[in-house]
């Protein structure tokens, strides 16, 4: 039985449609896979570090820049140098003033004798150190006032008036102080220090100042210790008497200082000890 031509061509057309669809899928799927695949990351490029640049200093210029000028005197170079030297000399003198007071005045003898009195009485903390130093300073100013007046009239007043220069004023100012020290120094100490300086036999006015000062200090120490020994004698007698009485009474456990110290204070007050010591100190300098 023969089929009609239209019915026999249907299977061939179907096969052609299927093949066309398969080819279309073969072409479309690889393209879509390539577009969907993520892109590979590109390697990062390293950047070399750069050295920091030096900061530039700001420049200030112009008429508004402040100016600082320190000047001593009226602008004269010679006067400026002289003013600076005077300032340095005054500052040095203020620094060495305590040492000068202790070494070249009556302060050494007075403060040592007052310290011996306190020790002999058995009261090492009364009067206080500040009080003893204050008493010694007041007595020193009183004793040294004639010397200070001569220094002021012979050296300071002419120098301030412009009649003499600083060198002459210094030489005139130390002459009264030198005379005071020579009058209270012992010949043995003075000869010893003059011999150390290889000055030989000289007149009192020509004795070097550097030899007078140490000789005066040694003489003051010797005189102060001699006066301290004389002060200790009556108080030592009281200690001996109190110790002997306590031993004879069998009170060996009783500290002698507890009995002797009130007796010492009583004796010192009855004889007006402070006035006697101060009068002796002042008169020892010929005042």
pLDDT (0 to 100) of residue 51: 55
Report the alpha-carbon distance of residue 166 to residue 85 in Å, rounded.
Answer: 11
Query: And the tokens for 94?
Result: 């203020």
Number of helical (H) and strand (E) elements in the chain, helices listed first: 10, 0
pLDDT score of 7: 40
User: What is the per-residue pLDDT for 43?
Assistant: 47
CA dist., res. 75 & res. 260, Å (int): 72
Instruction: Using alpha carbons, select from 164, 120, 115, 159 the residue that is nearest to residue 136.
Output: 115
In this prediction, residue 120 carries a pLDDT of: 86
Contact 176, 154 (CB under 8 A): yes
CA distances from 249 to 237, 242, 246, 252, 264 (A): 18, 11, 5, 8, 21
Q: Specify the pLDDT at position 67.
A: 55
Report the C-alpha gap between 82 and 165 in whole angstroms.
Answer: 11
Name the average pLDDT for the chain.
74
- Give the C-alpha separation, 236 to 57, whole Å: 82
Query: Mind listing the pLDDT tens digit for each residue in 162-182?
Result: 888 878 888 888 888 888 888
Low-confidence ranges of the chain (pLDDT < 70): 1-82, 198-202, 204, 287
Write the DSSP assignment of 160-178 as a string of letters: HTTSS-HHHHHHHHHHHHH
pLDDT at 16 (0 to 100): 58
Which pLDDT score, from 0 to 100, does residue 41 have? 47
């Amino acid at each position: 039985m023969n089929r009609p031509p239209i019915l026999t061509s249907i299977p061939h057309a179907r096969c052609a449609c299927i093949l066309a669809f398969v080819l279309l899928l073969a072409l479309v799927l690889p393209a879509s896979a390539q577009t969907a695949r993520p892109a590979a990351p590109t390697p990062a490029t390293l950047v070399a570090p750069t050295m920091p640049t030096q900061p530039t200093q700001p420049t200030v210029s112009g008429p508004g820049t402040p100016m600082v000028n320190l000047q001593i005197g009226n602008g004269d170079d010679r006067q400026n140098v002289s003013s600076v030297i005077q300032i340095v000399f005054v500052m040095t003198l203020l620094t060495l003033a305590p040492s000068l007071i202790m070494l070249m005045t009556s302060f050494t003898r007075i403060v040592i004798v007052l310290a011996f009195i306190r020790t002999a009485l058995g009261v090492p903390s009364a009067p206080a150190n500040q009080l003893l130093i204050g008493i010694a300073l007041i007595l020193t100013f009183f004793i040294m006032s004639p010397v200070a007046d001569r220094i002021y009239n012979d050296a300071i007043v002419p120098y301030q008036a412009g009649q003499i220069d600083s060198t002459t004023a210094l030489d005139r100012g130390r002459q009264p102080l030198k005379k005071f020290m020579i009058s209270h120094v012992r010949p043995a100490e003075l000869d010893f220090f003059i011999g150390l300086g290889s000055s030989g036999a000289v007149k009192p006015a020509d004795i070097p100042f550097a030899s007078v000062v140490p000789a005066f200090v040694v003489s003051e120490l010797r005189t102060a210790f001699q006066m301290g020994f004389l002060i200790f004698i009556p108080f030592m007698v009281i200690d001996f008497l109190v110790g002997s009485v306590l031993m004879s009474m069998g009170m060996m456990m009783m500290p002698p200082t507890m009995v002797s110290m009130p007796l010492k204070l009583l004796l010192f007050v009855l004889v007006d000890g402070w006035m006697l010591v101060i009068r002796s100190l002042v008169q020892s300098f010929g005042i």
